[in-house]
Amino acid sequence: MSDIRQLYQRIIVDHANHPHHYGELQSANFTKTYRNPDCGDTITVFATIVDDEIVDISFTGNGCIISQASASMLTDLLIGQTIDVADDTIRNFQYLIMGQPVNDSELGDSVAFSTLSEFPTRVRCGALAWHTMAAILNDWRAGNG
């Protein structure tokens, strides 16, 4: 197992303690809540999507450092992206936390989760916000298919 300090490195703890884009988004036209039944961690993602651009994202929720930090990083990465780029980033992040080789140049702060796969009981925490966002993109596709 990797050193525990790799999992709880400063940047992850900082994101969890001071999350970016936390709160409800008034302009949101997409909202989704996911809950991890194992631990009760809950994330609600709000997104404003205009044409195929994600204009704004915010989140609310509570849970562990991993789930909250990961949600905060997601908002930083995906605001202002097109749906296609967001799809790609989400896929890359999922590869990253499963320990698979990945082009991490587009993953920003979230590369800090590169050792998460070595803590298998926590991978779901890291993935929660990203699954929620992926579901929002599916909803968008369903409405624009």
Per CB under 8 A, residues contacting another protein are: 1, 3-5, 7-8, 13, 38-41, 62-66, 119, 121-122, 125
Cβ of residue 112: shortest distance to another protein, in angstroms? 14
Cβ of residue 29: shortest distance to another protein, in angstroms? 29
Count of Cβ atoms closer than 10 Å to residue 11 Cβ: 14
Q: What count of residues does the chain have?
A: 145
Cβ of residue 67: shortest distance to another protein, in angstroms? 8
Exposure letters 24-45 (e unless 16+ CB within 10 A, then b): ebeebebbbebebeeeebbbbb
Count of Cβ atoms closer than 10 Å to residue 72 Cβ: 23
Comparing CB distances to another protein, the nearer of 17 and 138 is 17
Comparing CB distances to another protein, the nearer of 38 and 51 is 38
